[in-house]
Amino acid sequence: MHINDSLKYLVGFKKALSRIAEGGGEEYETRDFIMDSLRFLGFSPILCAQTGVICPIDFGKEKSIAFRADMDALPLNGDYAHLCGHDAHMALLLAFAAHVAEDLPDYDCNILLIFQPAEETFGGAPGMIAEGILEKYNVAEIYSFHVFPSLPGGFMASMPGYMFSDSSKLIIRAKGLSAHAASGKEVRDALKAAGQIVTDINNIPPSGKALCRVCTLQAGRAQNIIADSAELTGIIRTLGLQSHGEMLEAIDEICRQAACSSGCEVCFIAEGGYIALKNDGRLYRRAKELFGKKFKKASPCFLADDFAFFARERPGLYMLLGVGEGGQTPELHSSDFSFNEKYLSVGLKAYITIAENAPLLESKK
């Protein structure tokens, strides 16, 4: 199949998927569309993790390489919309499947297409991994794209090592002793403790490898009563286990000092979410060889993606697909997010090239 024909498939798939955007864990219509499309192309897709889909393509080889796309959309005005490009990611995999169905290539490995639910919420990737798909299909390597407006259209980018941060929810609670604000009685002001904590967290020196932000603060019951309790919530993002541990130590010390100065009881919880996304350096170098000047080196950042769980289990490479046009392309998660679909052909060609040269870790120069 000529790439222009594949692009027609790609754009058609994307438009159809855009019309049926659904939230994390609720991608039933999306799942059915993917299943029907793959069956139409002659494949035998399999349900996985309730609303997920996998599609093994057997070339009679020992090992498989996997390509993964996320499925869920974001809430918008009481409905859902694909404001993070997941419709494009799914369309890339379906167009790749159409290419395989039409051209009947003879790859040196089997292919596993993974359509993963619930990336924006939680549980999608771990849920699919828990069903044993990586072991059952002997997956040796795994790849995934994400459209990226900050990268010029026509380019790709990735990097070896930690590329995206982990993501944890921070909850801090202060418990004090209230009284009327004008009574002069002894109090333990939970709001004072909370204010000190916010200031001290904001003053943590930036390192480039760790970030903590307090985003909400709730305290007090009335305008004339000293607050006897306060709750702060926010996020922790770190690149690597060492940075995560150091950030938790810093927060613990801040809470201890606030407790000492205010007399309040202060505790904090860091609820784990996504782990940090670590790319395989060998896959990055091979991809750089394959794609040359169109393949840029990305910089680590405090975004998060649960592809990290796949990349923890198998050598993985998460790649950014440029769709930017001179700063005019709306950012991900913005209510008006859209981009020129012509740039998706770059991602499709890349998936085909990877499959033609896979498994990359065993390929020779």
Q: What percent of the chain has pLDDT over 70?
A: 98
Question: What is the fold of 3-163+276-362?
Answer: Aminopeptidase (3.40.630)
Q: So what's the pLDDT on residue 94? A: 98
Residue 18 tokens read as 């855009």
| pLDDT at position 365 | 41
CATH topology identical between 3-163+276-362 and 168-272: no
Amino acid at residue number 219: A
Residue-wise pLDDT for 157-184, tens only, equals 999 999 999 999 999 999 999 998 898 7
Query: Is the pTM value of this prediction over 0.75?
Result: yes
Q: How far apart are CA 170 and CA 234, in angstroms?
A: 5
Q: Give pLDDT, residue 123.
A: 82
Contact (CB, 8 A) for 167 and 212: no
Question: What b/e readout covers 89-119, taking b as 16+ CB neighbours within 10 angstroms?
Answer: bbbbbbbbbbbbbeeeeebbbbbbbbbbbbb
| Residue 364: predicted pLDDT | 46
Give residue 333's identity as a one-letter amino acid code: H
What are the Cα distances from residue 192, in Å, to 216, 230, 231, 253?
15, 9, 12, 17
Tokens encoding 322 = 């440029």
> Can you give the residue ranges of every domain in the chain?
3-163+276-362, 168-272
The domain made up of 168-272 has a fold known as Alpha-Beta Plaits (3.30.70)
Helix axes 86-103, 344-357, angle to 10 degrees: 50
| Integer Cα distance of 238 and 275 in angstroms | 9
Q: What integer is the mean pLDDT of 14-40?
A: 98
Element of type H or E holding 69: strand 64-70
Mean pLDDT of the chain: 95
Summarised one tens digit per residue, pLDDT across range 236-295 is 999 988 899 999 999 999 999 999 999 999 999 999 889 999 999 999 999 999 999 999
pLDDT at 241: 84
Supply 107's token pair.
């790859």
Q: Side chain identity at 310, as an amino acid letter?
A: F
Q: How confident is the model at residue 3 (pLDDT cuts 50, 70, 90)?
A: low
Could you read off the pLDDT of 309-365 as tens digits, one per residue?
Answer: 999 999 999 999 999 998 889 999 999 999 999 999 999 999 999 999 988 787 544
Residue 33, pLDDT score: 99
Q: What pLDDT shows up at residue 186?
A: 82
As a whole number of angstroms, the distance between CA 348 and CA 329 comes to 21
pLDDT tens per residue across span 203-237:
998 788 999 999 999 999 999 999 999 999 999 99
Residue of 352, 296, 302, 363 lying closest to 143 (CA atoms): 352
Q: Regarding predicted confidence, which is higher, 307 or 8?
A: 307
Q: Is the dihedral of CA 162, 274, 235, 87 positive or negative?
A: positive
What does residue 171 show for φ and ψ, rounded to 5 degrees? -130, 125
Q: Note the pLDDT tens digit of each residue in 97-128.
A: 999 999 889 999 999 999 999 999 888 999 99
Per-residue model confidence (pLDDT) at position 142: 99
Residue 80, token pair as written in the block: 């859902």
> According to the model, what pLDDT value does residue 1 have?
55
d(CA 139, CA 110): 9
- DSSP structural state of residue 239: S
